[in-house]
Structure 1
Amino acid sequence: MRAPRSMKEAIRQELADWKLWLARALVVAAAVVAGLTVVGFTWLAETASGYFSALRALAWWAPLLATPAAAAAVVWCTRRFAAGAAGSGIPQVMATLEKEVGESERGLFVSLRLSIAKILLTSGGLLGGLSLGREGPSVQIAAGIMLQVRRFMPSGAPVGVHGLLVAGGAAGIAAAFNTPLGGVMFAIEELARAPERRSSGLIIAAIVLAGLVAVSAHGNGAYFGVIHAPAPGLDLLLPGLLLAVLAGIAGGVFSRLLIASLSGQSLDPFSRFRARRPVLFAAGCGLAVAVIGIVTAGAAFGSGYGATRVMVEGAGAMPPAYALFKFLATWITSWSGVPAGIFAPSLAIGAAIGNDVALLLYGMQMPALIALGMVGFLSAATQAPLTAFIIVMEMVDGHAMVLSLMACALVSYLVARAISPPLYATLAGFQLARLPASPEELPRSPE
C-alpha cells in the first residue's frame, strides 16, 4: 500500500491542478448566473400577475377575454418557436439525463434558447391569469444556463453534462422556493440517479450558492411566512391521518389526470380536438379557467401564492370548494399546453384541503393541518416525499412539525402510488418520444 500523502504534498497537488480550479470557477459562476436569472424570472412573473390583477380590477369580465387570448397566444408561440418549452420543464431535464439522449439531441429538451423562451412564455401565462407555477419552469431555465458551462470546460474536468444538469435543475428549485435544502433533496430524489462521486460536493455547492443568491434578493424570511402551530400531540394523530389519506387520493387523481391529458393517447373528444386544433383548444381552456377564477372571486387565478399565504397566516377565509376549483383550474391550465409548473398550485390545493379538514373539525389544529395538507398533496402529486417535506418545512419554518410532516408526506405518497404512476418520470418518457427516429431527422442544435 502507498503511504498517505503529507499535508504539504496534498495542498501542492490540489493547487497545481488548474483544470480542477477552472472547472470549479466555471460552475460557481454559472450557479450565480442561474440564481440571478431565476430571481429575475420571479420578478417578471410577479409583475405579470400584478398586471393581470390590475386588469381584473378594472372590469370583472376582463378575464373572459384576456385569459383565453393569453392561453392561445402562449400555446401558438410555444408550438411555433419553442416546442421543448411546453409543460413543467422538470420532465425535459429528466429526459435529457437519459442515456439515449446524445449531444446533438440535447437541445430538444434543455438549451439557453429554451430557457429564454420558458421565462417569456410562463410569464405570458401568468399575465393572462392562468393557474400555473414558476418553480418547475425554473428547473429547466437554470439547467439550460448551467449546461452552457460545458463549452468552456477543459478536457478531463471533474464535472460532466450529467452533473451540470443535476446542479442546474436543483439550483432552480433552490432559488425559486428560497429553499437550498429542498434543492439538494430534489437533486437526490428526482434527478441524480447516478451522480458523479468526484463532483458531488461541487454540485451541492452550486445548488446552495444559487439558493443564497435568492436569499440575498428576497431576504431570509420563510416563503409563506411562519406557521404558528403548537407542538403536535396525539390529538393530531387521527385528523392528520385522515388528511394524509385525502391528500394522497387527491394528489394521485391529479397526477393521473395530468398523465392521461398530456399523453396524447386518450380517445376522448376533447383530446382529439386538442390534437387537431391545439391553439383553439388552449383558448377554450383559458375560458374555462377564467370562469373558475370569476366564480372564486379571483382566488383561483395565478400561482396560488397569495391564497396559500392567507391560509398559512390565518389572515382570511377561502371561497367554498376552493380546493376543488384550484384543482380544476391547474389541471385545465396544464392540459392547454402552456409552459406551466404545478408546485405552487399544488401547495395551494393542499393548504385548502388542510383548511377544509380543520373547519370540519371546528377549527381544531388549523395551522398544523394546513401545513400537513401542503406537504401531503405535493408529495402525492409529485411522488417525491422527501423533497415535499423539506420544501414545506423550509417555506413555513415548520421545524417543530418535522416528524408530522415526514409522516404525512410518506402516507400520502403511498396512497398516491396505488392510484397513479410517478408523474415526472412518466412525462419524461413522453418527452423521449420526441427524439428523431434516424440521424437524418435530427434538427440543428438550437444552442
Structure 2
Amino acid sequence: MAGGHTGAKGVVHVERRRFLGLAATGLTGAVGLTATACGSGSDSGDGVTLKMVAADYGDPGGDNSTQTYWDEVSRAFTKKHPNITVDVSVYSWNDVDKKVADMVKRGEAPDIAQIGAYANYADQDKLYPASDLLSIPVQADFLPSLAEAGEVIRVQYGMPFASSTRLLFYNKTLFSEAGLDPEAPPESWKELKRAAAALKDAGVKIPYGLPLGPEEAPAETMMWMLSAGGGYTDTVGTYTIDSAENVRAFTWLRDELVGEGLTNPGPGSTDRQDLFDAFCRGEVGMLNGHPTLMQQADRHDVKYGTAVLPGDGGPAKATMGVADWMMGFKQNGHREQIGAFLDFAYSEKNHYAFADRYDMLPVTTAARERMRRDKGHKELWSFLDELATAEFYPAGKVSWAHVSAEIKKSIGKAVEKGGSPASVLGGLQRKAEAEETAAQ
C-alpha cells in the first residue's frame, strides 16, 4: 500500500513531497497515441492474455471486493480489444507485495502489478517507463506531484493509481456514553489518552485501535512519527527512523496507551481491516483511518466523526498521504497490450468509478475535478484538501520496499511490555542505511 507527509510548513525535500499541483492543461481531451505508447489500435495479431496482480480495497470476500471492479473493467476492455484478455488476481494488502516479489523472483513476473512499491523493480530494469506505455494525454493527466513521486532518476516508472489521506475516526455514540463531548475529538496525545481512559471505564472493548500488524504497520508508524514532528526521512531524503522525535512517539505509545491497556491486545499482530471491522461493530472508540472506512461505517450505521490526527502538544502539523502504484513489467514483452489496457483503466470513466466505489482520492486531474463537483462525495472534499500538506512514503527510494517489509515484521516489538523503542527503531535505521548502501 500504499503510500507519508511533511513536518514544518514550507519544507520541501526529495522523498516527502508536498501535494497538489495543477496538471498540465490542454492535454486531457481525446486520448491519442504516441510513437512509443500504444493505445486502442495496438491489439492486432494473435491473442494475448495479460496477467495482472492487484490489491484489494474492499471488504475481504465481500460484494465490494476489488476483484469485482477489475473483472468488470477487463471484460469491458476485451469487448473493445478482442485479441487482448486480462486475467486479474486480487490479493489482500497483507499478501500482494510479497506475491509479486515471489513471482518476479521465480522469473514469472506479471505483466501488470498494482501494489505498494515500484522503485526496486525499476532499479533492476524490470519495468517499462510510463512514457513507453501510456498515451500523452493519459500520462499528462496525472497530478504532477504524484507523477514526480513515481520517478527514479527523473524517469517515471510508477504510475499512481489511488491515493488517500488519514484522519482520526471516532465513534460519537461511544463518546457520549463515556461522558465525552462527541463534537470535541482529542487534539493532543494527552487528550487522546484521557478520552481512551474514559472509553475504557465505560466498557469499550478497544478504546484506541492500534494496527501495527503487517497490513498497516508502515502507515500507522508514519502517522505516529509525524504526530511527534518526526518522519521516515529528513529534508534531503536521508533516513531518520531512530530520531529523537520518533523514539519519543513510540515510547509514549508503549507507556501511555499500550501499557495502560487502552489499545487492542497485541498491536504488532493486529491488522487494519480487523480494527475497521471492529469499529463498525461498535467495539472501537478511536483509530486512524482513510476514506474507505467512511463507506464501511456508513453501511453499518455507525455515527462517527473525523478530525486531524492528535499530536504531541496539539494537532499534528502534517497529514499522512498514501499513494499506491501501477507498473508494467518487461518480461513478457507485452508493451503495447499493457499500454492499451492502462490507457483504458485510467480513462476518466473507469478511474472515477474506482474512486467512487472505494472512497479513494483520484490521481488524475479529470477525475479529481469530477469528484469536486460530485456533492455525493462532499465528505471526501476535506480529504482532498488534506493532500495539499500531505507527506508520503519515500517510495522513490529503491531501498523502501525492503525497509517497509522490515517495519511490518518488527515495529510491533517497540510497544510491547519491556520493549525498547530506541533499540527497535535503531535496528530499522541500520537496516535502512544498509539497504541504501546496497542500492547505490
| TM-score normalised per structure 1 | 0.28
Greater strand share, 1 or 2?
2
| TM-score normalised per structure 2 | 0.28
Identify the structure with bigger relative contact order (alpha carbons < 8 Å, sequence gap 6+).
2
Greater helix share, 1 or 2?
1
